[in-house]
Chain A
Amino acid sequence: QQQVKQSPQSLIVQKGGISIINCAYENTAFDYFPWYQQFPGKGPALLIAIRPDVSEKKEGRFTISFNKSAKQFSLHIMDSQPGDSATYFCAGSGHNFNKFYFGSGTKLNVKP
């Protein structure tokens, strides 16, 4: 059973546009939701994370929106840049944080 479902699988956005990636989770015990960014040949790196006690978290051009009742959360990249082109993974984790369940990833291509 896939604990975290992510869409779309790939995304093409023009420079300056808004990139939106969506995730849905099943396990109501999850209480930590990070997003990771992965460039080719590199390991994933933490981008931004949210806990369910807030509905939105913003860091620079990156914003997480969280809907606890719908068990959904999304990543918004404002003013998308070619340097944002990467694969993005959402994840969920339980209160003891010893395992992260990752979504299947979204390959973002920002065209100049």
Chain B
Amino acid sequence: GAGVSQSPSNKVTEKGKDVELRCDPISGHTALYWYRQSLGQGLEFLIYFQGNSAPDKSGLPSDRFSAERTGGSVSTLTIQRTQQEDSAVYLCASSLTVKEGLGNTIYFGEGSWLTVV
């Protein structure tokens, strides 16, 4: 597609329910990132994929969070047993293959707004 596509754009869920957030990166981009943005806050790194593997999962806040990527394209971020503190905008971004020594522009989607009530 023309840009990074995320769905759903908005999700309201009850505390304790599981949610899945989907990201469709720019065609041809092998690197995919998930960030979280709480209200009025900065961007918190969650996880990074190169192809289908996730070399860096260090930002996942707890074991309730998981992510996968299949076919080197679409990624799903799953939050189990949601808590109110999970309410945030979840941003997906993608980029071309990481090239050492060069700046690597990452392109963000518009985010999935999650509200846990």
- Residues on A close to B: CB < 8 A? 6, 32, 34, 36, 41-46, 49, 51, 89, 91, 93, 95-105
User: How many angstroms from the CA of A36 to the CA of B99 in the assembled complex?
Assistant: 20
Q: Are A98 and B111 in contact (CB under 8 A)?
A: no
- B100 surroundings in chain A (CB, below 8 A): 95-97
- B62 partner residues in chain A, CB cutoff 8 A: none
A–B pairs, 26, beta carbons within 8 Å: A6-B42, A32-B103, A34-B103, A34-B105, A41-B110, A42-B110, A43-B108, A43-B109, A49-B103, A49-B105, A89-B42, A91-B43, A93-B104, A95-B100, A96-B98, A97-B100, A97-B103, A97-B104, A98-B31, A98-B50, A98-B98, A99-B45, A99-B56, A100-B33, A100-B106, A102-B42
Give residues in B with beta carbon < 8 Å to A: 4, 31, 33, 35, 40-45, 48, 50, 55-56, 91, 93, 95, 98-111
The answer for the CA separation of A36 and B35 in the assembled complex, in Å, is 14
Give bound CA distance, A76 to B102, whole Å. Answer: 24
Q: Work out how many contacts link A and B, with CB atoms closer than 8 A.
A: 68
**Residues from chain A with Cβ under 8 Å of B101 in the complex:** 95
What 14 additional pairs, Cβ within 8 angstroms, besides A43-B110, A96-B98, A102-B42? A6-B42, A32-B104, A46-B107, A89-B43, A91-B43, A97-B99, A97-B102, A97-B104, A98-B31, A99-B48, A100-B43, A100-B106, A102-B43, A105-B40
Smallest CB separation, B14 vs chain A (Å): 24
- Whether B4 pairs with A43 at a CB distance below 8 angstroms is yes
Docked-complex contact B105 and A105, CB < 8 angstroms: no
Across-interface contacts of B111 in A (CB, < 8 A): 43
> How many Å lie between the Cα of A105 and that of B39 in the bound state?
11
Residue of B nearest to A103 (CB): B42
Query: Max chain B CB contacts within 10 Å: which of A42, A100, A104?
Result: A100
Q: In the assembled complex, how far is the CB of residue A34 from the closest CB belonging to chain B, in whole angstroms?
A: 7
Residues of B within 8 A of A100 (CB): 33, 43, 45, 106
Residues of A with C-beta under 8 A to B110? 41-43
